[in-house]
């Protein structure tokens, strides 16, 4: 039940809009996990979704098997993460604790990557001006 509570908290952080099938999650039903993984990788973060497309990963419009194949490639190539379950185990009933743990790991990896990909606009513009040798406006006045 600890993993289920952790997942609930992470879904609140993601502002997950869908219905959560807690009964299916506790039984290890893959159809309860796949929408959460799909939302996390494709809809939660625009910067991450763009990053995945740029890296050549297409996650929408696929069968469960093809989607899971691509998710595992993303975990390996983008996040350098090796899941404890095989793709076949993920797509069958059971293994609920390990699936919950895997989905929590995916959400945490996505949150971390999302924060890395967010562009801090203020810092970049200030750094750019200073990098070109220009005097920032507030210092220009003090030189007069």
Give the pLDDT confidence of 61-91 residue by residue, as tens digits: 889 999 999 999 999 999 999 999 999 999 9
Q: Tens of pLDDT along 20-70?
A: 999 999 999 999 999 999 999 999 999 999 999 999 998 888 899 999 999
Tokens of 126: 């200030």
* pLDDT score recorded for residue 83: 94
3-state helix, strand, coil in the chain (%, to 5): 70, 0, 30
How far is Cα 66 from Cα 24, in angstroms, rounded to an integer?
A: 21
CATH classification at residue 67: 1.10.418
* pLDDT score recorded for residue 125: 47
pTM for the predicted model, two decimal places = 0.79
When divided into structural domains, the chain yields a total of 1
Residue 125, judged by CB atoms within 10 A of its CB (0-12, 13-18, 19+), counts as exposed
Q: For residue 18, is pLDDT > 80?
A: yes
CB 7 within 8 A of CB 105: no
CB 81 within 8 A of CB 75: yes
Q: For residue 142, is pLDDT > 60?
A: no
Q: What domain range includes position 112?
A: 2-143
């Amino acid at each position: 039940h600890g993993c289920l509570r952790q997942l609930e908290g992470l879904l609140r952080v993601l502002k997950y809009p869908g219905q959560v099938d807690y009964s299916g999650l506790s039984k290890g039903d893959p159809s309860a996990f796949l929408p959460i993984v799909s939302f996390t990788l494709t809809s939660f973060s625009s910067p991450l979704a763009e990053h995945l497309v740029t890296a050549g990963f297409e996650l929408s419009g696929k069968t469960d098997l093809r989607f899971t194949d691509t998710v595992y490639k993303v975990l390996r190539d983008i996040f350098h993460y090796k899941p404890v379950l095989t793709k076949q185990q993920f797509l069958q009933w059971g293994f609920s604790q390990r699936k919950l743990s895997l989905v929590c790991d995916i959400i945490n990896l996505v949150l971390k990557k999302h924060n890395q990909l967010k562009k801090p606009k203020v810092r970049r513009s200030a750094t750019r001006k200073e990098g070109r040798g220009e005097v920032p406006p507030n210092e220009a006045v003090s030189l007069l």
